[in-house]
């Protein structure tokens, strides 16, 4: 398969970026998208055409959330429920033009080319996405009774890998789906109740501080999430946040 690639090149966060066009030929339809970029980089280096294209990747198994690329107007490309590393070239037509860009959000500044700084997500987690209560020894699993439907919902929310596709898909660059998932998987379990109020307030405040936009309920985040995190987590986040603030007012 042959493709024309239009790839965003940018030296650093301060530089003005632009698209560069590259031709690539004889790509196997079973080749993954990142493998195709590897092949292109080898060509650029061996033929002394250009500097290799920088892009994030790590596990290449759809687990780590590193490989965030905006491909033909969609985060992670033209397939549902997958990360960029799981996208294969058979999903494209032979001879197709492919446009490849980084995530575009104020909170995700470009580092170089297709690589963006997603440490804003780490800062939100550091603000409250954990349990710090001293619980002593690890109890037996069957001593803490959790209804199955709540355990299932908590596990579904915990599947979020923090790739940032929800932010990239949102017209406001909102992180509500990410924060909703991180709040939900703890809020649904008894272990997360003690710090629940402080957790949601701290994480939402940090999200706003870092420059993420507000949610306007277009649900593009849910549509493009590679782990198919549900928008109901945003509703739960809002309920938790309102409840935490009402609780604080009553204490005053």
Q: Are 187 and 196 contacting, i.e. CB atoms less than 8 angstroms apart?
A: yes
- At the fourth CATH level, the homologous superfamily of domain 118-251 is Alpha-helical ferredoxin (1.10.1060.10)
Closest by CA position to 61, among listed 226, 228, 181, 185: 226
pLDDT in tens, 138-147: 667 677 888 9
- In the chain, CATH 1.10.1060.10 sits at 118-251
* pLDDT at residue 133, rounded to an integer: 66
Q: How many CB atoms lie within 10 A of CB 141?
A: 7
Each residue's pLDDT tens digit, 69-125: 999 999 999 999 999 999 999 999 999 999 999 999 999 999 999 999 999 999 999
As a whole number of angstroms, the distance between CA 74 and CA 131 comes to 34
For the chain, residues classed under CATH 3.10.20.30 are 3-112
**CATH architecture classification, 3-112:** Roll (3.10)
């Amino acid at each position: 398969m042959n493709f024309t690639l239009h790839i965003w090149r940018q030296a650093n966060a301060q530089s003005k970026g632009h698209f560069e066009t590259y031709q690539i030929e004889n790509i196997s339809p079973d080749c993954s998208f990142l493998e195709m970029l590897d092949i292109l980089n080898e060509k650029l280096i061996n033929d002394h055409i250009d500097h290799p294209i920088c892009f994030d990747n790590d596990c290449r198994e759809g687990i780590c959330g590193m490989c965030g690329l905006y491909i033909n107007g969609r985060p992670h490309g033209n397939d549902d429920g997958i990360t960029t590393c799981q996208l294969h070239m058979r999903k494209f037509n032979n001879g197709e033009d492919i446009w490849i860009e980084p995530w575009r959000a104020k909170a995700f500044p470009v580092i170089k080319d297709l690589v963006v700084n997603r440490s804003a997500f780490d800062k939100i987690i550091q603000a409250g996405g954990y349990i710090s209560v001293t619980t002593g020894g690890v109890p037996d699993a069957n001593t803490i009774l959790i209804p199955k439907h709540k355990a299932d919902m908590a596990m579904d929310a915990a599947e979020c890998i923090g790739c940032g596709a929800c932010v990239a898909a949102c017209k406001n660059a909102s992180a509500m789906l990410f924060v909703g998932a991180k709040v939900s998987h703890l809020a649904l379990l008894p272990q997360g109740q003690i710090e629940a109020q402080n957790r949601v307030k701290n994480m939402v405040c940090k999200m706003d501080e870092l420059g993420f936009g507000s949610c306007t309920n277009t649900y593009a985040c849910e549509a493009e999430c590679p782990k198919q995190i549900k928008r109901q987590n945003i509703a739960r986040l809002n309920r938790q946040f309102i409840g935490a603030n009402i609780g604080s007012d009553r204490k005053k």
